[in-house]
Structure 1
């Protein structure tokens, strides 16, 4: 089974048919307890059980149970995706056991999909949630986070607290496994920052601009921070390509070698165009889910360097 996915929205839905939750900055997982054993599966269907041994005692709570939730790593009291990256892709049980002590994760369980052999996915969210709360499973390494009726208030509160955003769910919605549904709506807070373009890649199978490679000032030059494709379709991409054409150069302007999967098919350019991108921050030096906002024609690369130095 794959998890149900939320659809991006720009407004908070209102009305008594909607309920609101905190959007956690972590890793989406399905957790199955069955016959005393626990299986943790990623959003893509990968078995990641070995990486999170601190969740193993969940298997002792109920003989048959499937939870949907988010694994988060708390850093200074807040979820940190960067703090979670060290736990991801760990395949050594010994290494995982060490990290479970030094950098433990917490499962934020927000849905119940099966209990004691009964498939609950066809039940409305309200019924699944009521049953989930009745399980009383809260413990140091897993918890059932609260829900809220006031979506606008929660959105403001999560912004003030530096959280990722909110998710609104229709109370009557069934669980659409593996599908992106309009019954779940996500509204993340996305920080905006200015970056310089150092290259561009064509769209797959075409000549039009598909994405730009961007960087920020670093101690040795320009530090590559990722590719930006969202927001550059159609006219925006065509206009950007016109700006970049005269700036073509033969080699990468970035200080360190750009990963092969990013560099493949790239036309390098002088990093003279500054743009604003919105993202969910950075993980391992890369922008998370970046999207193009606008060209900052009033800013130069020197402006970015001076801001960085200051």
Structure 2
């Protein structure tokens, strides 16, 4: 099988022909149809992601495809089932072996491309806003990086949860995409004073931040008393340093959210969250925004789109069956 393989953090990934594995106990063999790209893939290439696998490994965190093989002890799945899988690695390949407990049946109406773009982005935003921040109807939600893979889903979900949504993104084209996803107010991160613009709108109750750096600092200073700030990621490359005395003055709460981490200590939260999200998808209330669908041979081009911030929503790699 063909796979985008990483053998060194000092060298770029390269396409390699690898033997197809046989699923072991508790595993499934999956004929992969699509793989969603994530900023975490870029961090893995450099060895900076918190869950970077041991070298060598195949890139690609989340996939959709058809079950072809079952290892011993696997129940509830059968060859031919269409599933989405968060595997953490192994997605940019024609075939993969994954833990069966990571597989979720796709709704009948869902395409492989939508499924591959779905779990991490929507799962992160729903768990962050619902479970962690306890976002309430009528509150004001500020989303930084609002046209990105997770940011755009935060706009959608925040609106579904009854919040007034302020979307902050770079440039009018990206802001228009956020507006179409439900944003009530738009801030251009390239030209606007984020702090002043948010304060003019009354301040933020919840901040959803996948950017970090100067944008986090500006949002922090535009919070209402008792606001909650969600630290989702650091696409700017700058991890903000928070002064505890500033938290005290406004009674602020800063909280982190790493979606994949819940698999190790509270998987039932992910299961319940995904059930709600799939229901919303089937009702037509959410729909992944995919700016680029590329073939496997152009996967490195897809990673460059993320690296250079030239995509909106998700980039998906289609893998012929």
TM-score (norm 1): 0.28
Q: Which structure has greater strand proportion?
A: 1
Q: Which structure has greater helix proportion?
A: 2
